[in-house]
A = this chain, B = another copy of it.
Amino acid sequence: MDNAGAVAETTRADLRSWVESANTEDTDFPIQNLPFGVFTNAQSNVPRVGVAIGDWIVDLAALESARLLVVPYTVVDDEGNPKSVFRQKRLNDFVELGKPVWRSVRSQLSALLSASNAILRDDRDMRERVLVRQSDADMLLPFEIPGYTDFYSSREHATNVGCMFRDPENALMPNWLEIPIGYNGRASSVVVSGTPVRRPNGQRKDPSSARPIYGPCRKLDIELETGFFVGVGSTLGSPIPAKNADDHLFGMVLLNDWSARDIQQWEYQPLGPFNSKGFATTISPWVVTMDALSPFRVEQPEQEPKPLEYLRGAANAGVNMNLEVQLKPESATQLTTIARTNFKHMYWSMAQQLAHHTSSGCNTRVGDLMGSGTISGPKSDSSDDNVGTFGSLLELTWNGKTPLKLGAGEERAFLEDGDELTLRGWCQGNGYRVGFGSCVGTILPAHDVAAENNG
A272 touches B270 (CB 8 A): yes
Q: A184 vs B202: C-alpha distance in the bound complex, in angstroms? A: 17
Name the B residues within 8 Å of A362 (CB-CB): 186, 188-189, 275, 278-279
Question: Are A272 and B310 in touch, CB under 8 angstroms?
Answer: no
If A184-B184, A279-B360 are given as contacts, then 9 extra A-B residue pairs at C-beta distance below 8 Å, sorted by A number, are A175-B212, A179-B203, A189-B363, A201-B359, A236-B280, A268-B272, A270-B272, A272-B273, A280-B361
Closest B residue to A273 by beta carbon equals: B271
Which chain B residues border A271 with CB–CB below 8 Å? 152, 181-183, 268, 272-273
Complex CA–CA separation, A185 to B148 (angstroms):
10
Take A214-B310, A455-B306 as given contacts and tell me if A361 and B198 are in contact as well, using a CB distance cutoff of 8 Å: yes
Query: Could you tell me the distance in whole angstroms from the C-beta of A2 to the nearest C-beta in chain B?
Result: 26
Q: Is A1 an interface residue (CB 8 A)?
A: no
Q: For the complex, give the distance between the alpha carbons of A203 and B78 in Å.
A: 41
Cα distance, A61 to B273, chains bound together (Å): 43
Q: A79-B77, A270-B173 are in contact. Are A361 and B212 (CB under 8 A)?
A: no
> Does A15 have its Cβ within 8 Å of any Cβ on chain B?
no
Distance between Cα atoms of A175 and B189 in the complex (Å): 25
Across the interface, which residues of B come within 8 angstroms of A263, CB to CB?
360
A201-B239, A309-B455 are known contacts. Are A274 and B188 too (CB-CB below 8 A)? no
Which of A174, A188, A202 has most chain B Cβ within 10 Å?
A188
Supposing A79-B81, A147-B186, A186-B147 touch, asked if A178 and B211 sit within 8 A by C-beta, the answer is: yes
B contact residues around A365 at 8 Å (CB): 188
- A240-280 interface with B by 8 A CB criterion: 260, 263, 266-276, 278-280
Inter-chain CA distance A263–B360, complex, in Å, is 10
Q: How far is the CB of A336 from chain B (nearest CB, A)?
A: 27
Distance in angstroms between the alpha carbons of A189 and B235 in the assembled complex:
9
CB of A147, distance to nearest CB on chain B (Å): 5
Question: Can you list 15 pairs linking A and B with CB atoms under 8 Å apart?
Answer: A146-B146, A147-B187, A152-B271, A174-B205, A179-B203, A182-B274, A183-B184, A184-B184, A201-B239, A202-B360, A203-B308, A213-B308, A236-B280, A268-B272, A309-B455
Chain-B contact segment, one of A4-12, A104-112, A388-396, A446-454:
A446-454
Q: Is A372 an interface position by the 8 A CB rule?
A: no
How distant is A106 from chain B, measured CB to nearest CB, in Å?
Answer: 26
Kindly identify which residue among B178, B188, B275, B368 contacts A188, using a CB–CB cutoff of 8 Å. Answer: B368
* Cβ < 8 Å to B, chain A residues 195-210: 198, 200-203, 205
Copies held by the complex: 2
Complex alpha-carbon distance, A108 and B224, angstroms: 54
Contact of A260 among B183, B205, B275, B360 (CB under 8 A): B360
The minimal Cβ–Cβ distance linking A63 to chain B, given in whole angstroms, is 21
A424 at interface (Cβ–Cβ under 8 A)? no
Residues on B with C-beta less than 8 A from A53 are none
- Nearest chain B CB to A110 CB, angstrom units: 31
**Known contacts A188-B147, A201-B361, A309-B455; is-contact A212 B447 (Cβ 8 Å):** no
Question: With the chains together, A181 CA to B179 CA distance in Å?
Answer: 25
Which residues from B are CB-within-8-Å of A307?
455
**A345 at interface (Cβ–Cβ under 8 A)?**
no
Q: Does A357 contact B (CB under 8 A)?
A: yes
Taking CB as reference atom, which chain B residue is nearest A147?
B188
Q: Which residues of B have CB within 8 Å of A455?
A: 305-309
Does A191 touch B at the CB level, under 8 Å?
yes
Chain B residue contacts of A278, Cβ below 8 A? 184, 357, 360, 362
